[in-house]
A and B are shown apart, each in its own frame.
Chain A
Amino acid sequence: MSTIILYTVISLSATGIVAALILYFAAQKFKVYENPKIDEVEEELPAANCGGCGFAGCRAFAEALVKAEDLNDFYCPVGGNDTMQMVAKILGKEATLSDPRVAVLLCNGHCEARPKTNVYEGATSCAIASALYGGDTGCQYGCLSHGDCVDVCDFDALHMDTETGLPVVTDANCTACGACVEACPRDLFELRKRAKKDRKIYVACRNEDKGGIAKKNCAVACTGCTKCFKVCPYDAITMENNLAFIDSDKCKLCRKCVPECPTNAIIEIGFPPPKEKKVTETATDNANNKEEVLPGQSKTDQS
C-alpha cells in the first residue's frame, strides 16, 4: 500500500516539475514586450469599455494613447478632463481639454402631440423599424420609441418614459460616451455642452418637412418659422432644412428665443420658474405668445 502512495507522490511531483519547466520556458520564449506605460495609462481610465473614445475598450485606447505623438485627437468622454490630464502627466504630453457634454434628445413628439397613423408590429428595434418605413406617425424624422438608445447605454443614463414614449436622459449619469448617438437610426441625440446646473435650451425637433406638413403631423414640430433665429442676440441659432438649431457653444442661455417659438419646439430645462416680470416683458414684444404649455414641455430640473 505504501508503495502505491509513494509512486503516486513521485509521479505527480515529477509531472508538476516538468510542466512548470515547460511553462517557464514557454513564457520566456514567447514573451511579448509591452510598454509598461500602457498598464499605467489603463489604470487611470474609467474601465467602462464603452467605446466612447472611438476605440474598442479602455485597453485599446491606452495602447493608442501611448503610441500617439500628441493627444490632440484623443479624448475620454467618460473620464473627462481630469482623466485626460492624469494620462497626459504619465505620458509627459499635453492633453486637449474639452467642455463636458451631455446627451440631449432632439425630439419632443410625445404621444399626444404626434398621433399614430399605423401600428408597428415588427421586432422591437428602432433600427429595424427605421429600415422598414417612416415610422408609426406622420413624422419620418422623429423618435421611434423602441429604445435602441436605452439598450446601448452602459451608464444607466437613459430610460423610456412610457407615457410620452420618448427616452429620458438622466443628466447626472450621462458621460457623453456617444453610444446613443451611434445607436439612434434617426440621429436624434446630440452631445451638447453641459451648462451650469445642467441648464439647457434646445430645439427638440429634427423634422425637415415644410412648416405646415411638419405641424400637421406633430404639434410640437419646428416649422422653420425663423422667429427664434431673428431674436437671438448671440448668433447661436442657425436655420437649415426648415429647422432651427441652437449651437450650445454659442448659446448664452438668455432664453429670449423660448417664448418666440409658436409651436413650443424650443425646450428649456433646469431654469427656475419664470418670474412674473420677465414674462410680461417678453409678452409686449410678442403679440401671440398665448400658447398653452403642453405636457412634457415645461420640464424643470430633472436631477
Chain B
Amino acid sequence: MDKLLSVAPSPHLKSSTGVPGLMFGVVIAMMPVLVLSVIFYGLGAIVVTATAVASCVLFEAIIQKYVLRHKITVSDGSAVVTGILLAFNIPSDLPVFMIILGSLVSIGVGKLTFGGIGNNPFNPALVGRVFLLVSFPVDMTTYPNPTGLNASLAESYIDASSGATPLTLIKEGIKAGKPVSELMTQVPDYADLFFGDMGGSMGEIAGIAIVIGFLYMLVRKIITWHVPVVIVSTIFAFTGILWLINPEQNADPLFHILTGGVLLGAVYMATDYVTSPMTIKGQVIFAVGIAIITVVIRVYGAYPEGISFAILIMNAFVPLINRYVKPKRFGEQLSNG
C-alpha cells in the first residue's frame, strides 16, 4: 500500500450531525410560522423575510471578506436563521431600508463584533429588533391588519392599514382606567389568537405554527424542552397569580401567553444555542428569569411587550450562570462525604 495511514487520537467515529444540519433543522422548524404569516399578511411577509435573510447573509459575507479578512462562514446557515428571526420580529409592512439597517446591526454589531458565531453574548436578531424599536418606535409598533393571501403587494405591504396589537389595546385600556372585562371584548377570542388572526409582528401571531415548530425541533433533538416549557409555565403562573388577585386590573394568563411574542421568543429565541446557558439547571434559571422580566415589563413597564428585552437581559447573565451552575457530576454526592 503506497498511501500513508492516517493517525489521530480516539474517538475515530463521528456523528453525522454538523452545524449546517442543525441550522437547517431550525429553518425547517420556522417554516410553519412563515407559511401562516404569509397566509395572513400576504406578499408583505415574503418581501420582509426575503429582504432580511438576503441582507443578513450578504452583510456577513461582506464584513467577513472585506472588514475582518476572515474566512467566510455563511455556509453554516446561522445568518439565515438570524435573518428569518429578525423578520419574525418586525411588522410585515416595515420599509425595506429599515430591514436592511436592522440586518446590518444584527450581523455587524450583534454577531461579528464579538467574533462571529459562538462568541456573541446577545441574540443577534433581537439586537437588531431592539435597535429598530428604539430608532423607529412608530413604525415598529404599528402593525398591519391581516390582509390575507389574495391581497396585492400594494395592499399588503406598501399602504397596509394598520392597527394595534391585543397587548397594546389592553395596556392602553388599563392605563386609561377601563376594566379588563370590558377591554377583552375588543380583542379576538383565544381560538383566533392561537391560529394567528391578530395584529402583531410577522412571526408571533400564529401560536399553532410555533407549537408545531417546537415539536419538530424536539423530535429532531435540536433543542431540549426545558427553556420553552419553563418560560411559558412561569409566565402562566406569574400572570395567573396577578389575575387571581385582581381580575379587573390584569389580563388572564392564557391571554398573556397567546398574545405578543411569548411563544416565538420561548421557542426560537431563548433556545438559541450561543446565547443560552450550557447546563439544564442553568437553562431553567435562565428561563424563569426571562418569564419574570417579561411579565414585569408587560404589567408595570412602559412597553406593552417585554420578551425581547427580557431575553437580552438574561443573555447578559448567561456567562455568570455558566460559571456557577454546574451539571450534577457522576459520583459527586459521595466524594464530599
**In the complex, is A directly touching B at CB under 8 Å?**
yes
Binding site for B on A (CB under 8 A): 116-123, 128, 132-133, 136
Residue from the list A117, A122, A128 in contact with B4, Cβ < 8 A = A117
Q: State the CA gap A190–B225 with chains docked (Å).
A: 57
Q: State the CA gap A31–B4 with chains docked (Å).
A: 66
B7 within 8 A of A: yes
Task: Say whether A132 contacts B4, CB under 8 Å.
Answer: no
Most chain A CB inside 10 Å of its own CB: which residue of B5, B6, B7, B9: B7
Q: How large is the interface on B (under 10, 10 to 19, 20 to 34, 35 or more residues)?
A: under 10
Q: State the CA gap A136–B5 with chains docked (Å).
A: 10
Task: Say whether B4 contacts A121, CB under 8 Å.
Answer: no
Task: Say whether A118 contacts B7, CB under 8 Å.
Answer: yes
B8 within 8 A of A: yes
Residues from chain B with Cβ under 8 Å of A121 in the complex: 6-8
Task: Say whether A136 contacts B7, CB under 8 Å.
Answer: yes
Task: Say whether A118 contacts B9, CB under 8 Å.
Answer: no
Task: Say whether A128 contacts B9, CB under 8 Å.
Answer: yes
Task: Say whether B9 contacts A119, CB under 8 Å.
Answer: no
Task: Say whether A132 contacts B9, CB under 8 Å.
Answer: yes
Residues from chain A with Cβ under 8 Å of B8 in the complex: 120-122, 132
Given A118-B4, A121-B6: 12 more A-B contacts, CB < 8 Å: A116-B4, A118-B5, A118-B6, A119-B7, A120-B7, A120-B8, A121-B7, A122-B7, A122-B8, A122-B9, A128-B9, A132-B8
The 4 residue pairs across chains A and B that have the minimum distance between CB atoms: A121-B8, A122-B8, A119-B6, A122-B9
* A and B contact pairs by CB, cutoff 8 A, 26 listed: A116-B4, A117-B4, A118-B4, A118-B5, A118-B6, A118-B7, A119-B4, A119-B5, A119-B6, A119-B7, A120-B6, A120-B7, A120-B8, A121-B6, A121-B7, A121-B8, A122-B7, A122-B8, A122-B9, A123-B9, A128-B9, A132-B7, A132-B8, A132-B9, A133-B7, A136-B7
Chain B nearest CB, measured from A147 CB (Å): 18
Q: State the CA gap A118–B5 with chains docked (Å).
A: 5
Residue ID in chain B nearest A122 by CB atoms: B8
Chain B nearest CB, measured from A114 CB (Å): 14
Q: State the CA gap A123–B10 with chains docked (Å).
A: 11
Residues from chain B with Cβ under 8 Å of A119 in the complex: 4-7
Q: State the CA gap A122–B11 with chains docked (Å).
A: 10
Chain A nearest CB, measured from B2 CB (Å): 12
- Residues of chain B from 1 to 53 with CB closer than 8 A to chain A in the complex: 4-9
